[in-house]
Amino acid sequence: MFQKLEGVEARYEELNKLISDPQIISNQSEWKKLMKEHSSLEDVVQKYREYKQTQKEYEEAKEMMNDPEMKDLAEEEMLTAKDKLPKLEEELKVLLIPKDPNDDNNVICEIRSGAGRRRSCVICWNAI
């Protein structure tokens, strides 16, 4: 999972560079495609960075446990980080679930009433 997250983060950084390239900006269709991909990766990358930061805080607190003056503070920070890590892992797993290719398509759903009724309702939803 973490190798995949490293790859996603690397692609996100690559997209950051590409979308600021003047040649890409001048080609609106390419820029729009890259911006859409960038946007789809943003939540995953932010959550992964939060996970890495929490992991770092945990390791630092673990090291501070050796210092008797800082032991209480370090213990509190370590417990907080330790509680937060599994939650972040679960959130990352959910974010890594592949999106349905039809998520960006328009949907038309028709709802009709039961027997004896002549009313019907059509609901349209357009994805932007």
DSSP 25-54: HHSHHHHHHHHHHHHHHHHHHHHHHHHHHH
Beta-ladder partners of 99 = none
Q: Is there a domain that residue 45 lies in?
A: yes
Domain containing 45: what range?
A: 2-103
Q: Is there a domain that residue 126 lies in?
A: no
Tokens 């992964």 sit on residue: 48
Degrees (nearest 5) of the Cα angle 9, 15, 17? 110
Q: Is there a domain that residue 125 lies in?
A: no
Helix (H, G, I), strand (E, B) or coil at 92: helix
Q: How confident is the model over 100-110, as pLDDT tens digits? A: 777 777 777 77
Beta-ladder partners of 125 = 107
Structure pTM?
Answer: 0.69
How many independent structural domains does the chain possess?
1
Q: Is there a domain that residue 117 lies in?
A: no
Q: How confident is the model over 57-77, as pLDDT tens digits? A: 888 888 888 888 888 888 888
